[in-house]
Every structure is written in structure tokens, then in C-alpha cells.
Amino acid sequence: MVNSRFSVAIHILSLIATTSDKSQLTSDFMAGSVNTNPVVVRRMIGTLKKAGLLSSQTGIAGYELLVEPRDLTLLAIYQAIDGPEQLFAIHDEPNPACMVGRKIQHTLEGVYTSIWHAMEEQLQAQTLQDVLDQLRL
């Protein structure tokens, strides 16, 4: 299932990469930019820290990237936030007496696997720096 966690993670990492005064990088500030609740930002930051992409110091506002934006692939970000292992779900129990129903699951598995691999290749080819360059900050 596709959700917005990936976009939120890229948004937060982009803010951290482009904000020179790291003391501004509070969960409230980032939540205002993402337009979400600070709790959502704190959870995402925890996930990104656990994945080794961010660091912070207790009692001091702000975060630091542990990977240079040019070296941080979108695939690594996707994997860090435990993106879904599949984008599409195949419906359960199609009618085996139907000529389509008896083969649709196997057929769609192949189609979806190839789409998944193409997506992974594209995410591996793009970096956080590519995103920042497109933002033109």
C-alpha cells in the first residue's frame, strides 16, 4: 500500500540538509513545514536515526545528516522507513473455475515483481542531492 511516509522522510531530510541554523530544526518547525503533527515528525526522526541516517544530541535542538546528500539514495531512505515490500496487493481467492481466475494471481505476481524491480532501480539511481537540486535551494 502506498502512503506518504516516504515523502515525509524526504521532506524532513531535505529540511535538515538545507537548514544552516540547526537549532531551528525542532519537531514543531519541521511539522509546520510538512503540515503535520510534531508527533509524526518525531516518530519519523526516530526511524531515520535508528537507520543510521541522522544523529542528534540530547538536550540540544537540531539534527545532522550522517550521510552526504549525494551519497544518500532514495532507495536507502525508502528502506530506512520500512516502505512496503509491495505496491500492489493481489486479491484473494479468485474463482479457479474461471479461465482468468485460475491464472490471474500467478500472472500478476510476475507483472508486479517487474514493476517493483524497476522502481527499486529508479530509487537507487536518485539521491537526496538530486531532490535538493530540483528544489533549487
Domains, the chain, with CATH or none = 5-135 (1.10.10.10)
Confidence of residue 84 (pLDDT cuts 50, 70, 90): low
Question: Is the CB of residue 44 less than 8 Å from the CB of residue 8?
Answer: yes
| pLDDT at site 1 | 44
Question: Is the CB of residue 40 less than 8 Å from the CB of residue 34?
Answer: yes
pLDDT tens digits, 90-133: 888 899 999 999 999 999 999 998 998 999 999 999 999 999 99
60 has which bridge partners?
57
From the number of C-beta atoms within 10 Å of its C-beta (0-12, 13-18, 19+), residue 97 rates as: exposed
Percentage of the chain modeled with pLDDT above 90: 74
pLDDT tens digits, 24-76: 899 999 999 999 999 999 999 999 999 999 998 887 778 999 999 999 999 99
Question: Is the CB of residue 5 less than 8 Å from the CB of residue 120?
Answer: no
| pLDDT at site 70 | 98
In this model, does residue 2 exceed pLDDT 90? no
